[in-house]
Amino acid sequence: MKNISRRGFIEKGTVATVGIGSLPSFSNAMNEQKKTVKVGVIGTGGRGTSHISNLLTIEGVEIVALCDLTQSKAENGADLCQSAGRNRPTIYCKDENTWKELLEKEKLDCVIIATYWDSHAAIAIGAMTKGIYPGIEVPAALTVQDIWQLVETSEKTGIPCMMLENWSFRQDNLAALNMKRLGMFGEIVHCHCAHSHDCIDHWFFDNKTGEKKWPAEYLLNYNRDQYPTHSVGPIISWMDINRGDIFTEIFSTATASKGINAYMKRKFGNDHPNANLKYKQGDIVTSVLKTKMGKTLVINYDMQLPRPYSNRWLLQGTLGVYDEEKASTYLEDKSPEYNQWEPWKPYEAKYNHKWWSADFSAQSHGGTDYVMLSQFIDAVKAKGPTPIDVYDSAVMSAIVELSGISIQKNAPVPFPDFTKGKWKTNKPYFGID
């Protein structure tokens, strides 16, 4: 199947054109070091506040501006900065377009974007046109049209664009990547991943009142993999996507939507206004992706049914397999017992990645957020490439809309080549140890 062209996919995008006619020049020279990185944070809710806390522990970072729709949230972020002995950031809090004022007035090196999903792309494009590195919370964009605009703006401005996919930086996933690059799994053939996380009672709805939170609107209006980046993040490097291989098509299917209504009736009774709404979102979405070089990937979206958390990462090649859910691995001619699993932890310790040279477990998400932000800040200091580039950000984010289109058509749909052929010569670079 042919890849979808940037302009042939959707007639109208949701991101307004930002003046790309007069763009600032920007040097990517790695030897240009800055002593202090000036950071703005747009979106100071739960995730944005977590990023502020981590940034305050990274040497050479100055948070100079905060922006949010809610004054108290922005003030809380500023209080955190002052409590850490830093200058109080300037606060921008007028309306949904106030981020433009922040980008215009502040002399920033980078901006952390932790706003609602549908605003991520527009803010990131605005940042890049000002010569500012964007670090975008997941997903980077919700439509393929907007993703193409991110890619093209990054290419035209020379400004790297990074989606902040923290699970790519997990200690276990990076150790598996080291082993993969040493050839211990042989030639990679297949991967599996999932985001299995019951989020109904805290992320989509209020667990005391049952009232909808902002992400719940997506469950009402769409049927797709709403949140693929955590599952796919590590897979991009394991499968050499955009660097020697690309996804060529995706075929997604969805179950019926039962879990949300069942939860509402069980917790709040049959008469609750949200208990009998018709939600478009199926409880479990399964997507199968094929690559140019003959690999396959299975992704599960599973965020609406009672279950413990699991990512179910699996990496399988011609010489062995790693199974995150089992916390086990099997390597041909290396594992002591034929066709028997052995524990993963000794391998994780032996092939530990250099980014995990210290214990960061006290930080948020077991240290992955700190490692991710530290690497992002280092890239900004050096005016160099970010650890996750715009092409990997694009591939992970595109699964959202493409899975929905495939479900609606009940057929495979082509996957765009955001590198425009550069995957054939691009070399792996994420997390080179």
3-state secondary structure of 308: coil
Which residue in 244, 229, 239, 245 sits closest to 169, CA to CA? Answer: 229
Largest CA distance in the chain: 65
Identify whether the C-beta of residue 279 lies closer than 8 Å to the C-beta of residue 260: yes
Check pLDDT > 50 for residue 181: yes
Structure tokens at 167: 């699970």
Q: How confident is the model at residue 361 (pLDDT cuts 50, 70, 90)?
A: confident
Q: What is the pTM of this model?
A: 0.92
Q: How confident is the model at residue 2 (pLDDT cuts 50, 70, 90)?
A: very low
Structure tokens at 271: 């008469």
Q: Which residues are registered as beta bridge partners of 331?
A: 320
Task: Give tens-digit pLDDT for 217-243.
Answer: 999 999 999 999 999 999 999 999 999
- CA-to-CA distance for 286 and 411, rounded, in angstroms? 13
Provide the residue ranges of all domains of the chain, joining segments of one domain with +: 37-137, 168-358+389-424
The pLDDT assigned to 363 comes to 86
The pLDDT assigned to 433 comes to 85
Which residue in 9, 6, 39, 25 sits closest to 413, CA to CA? Answer: 9
What architecture is domain 168-358+389-424?
A: 2-Layer Sandwich (3.30)
Task: Give tens-digit pLDDT for 12-66.
Answer: 334 443 433 333 333 344 334 558 999 999 999 999 999 999 999 999 999 999 9
Task: Give tens-digit pLDDT for 61-75.
Answer: 999 999 999 999 999
The pLDDT assigned to 21 comes to 35
Task: Give tens-digit pLDDT for 371-417.
Answer: 999 999 999 999 999 999 999 999 999 999 999 999 999 999 999 99
Check pLDDT > 80 for residue 11: no
Residues in the chain: 433
Residue 29 identity (one-letter amino acid): A
CATH class of the domain at 37-137: alpha beta
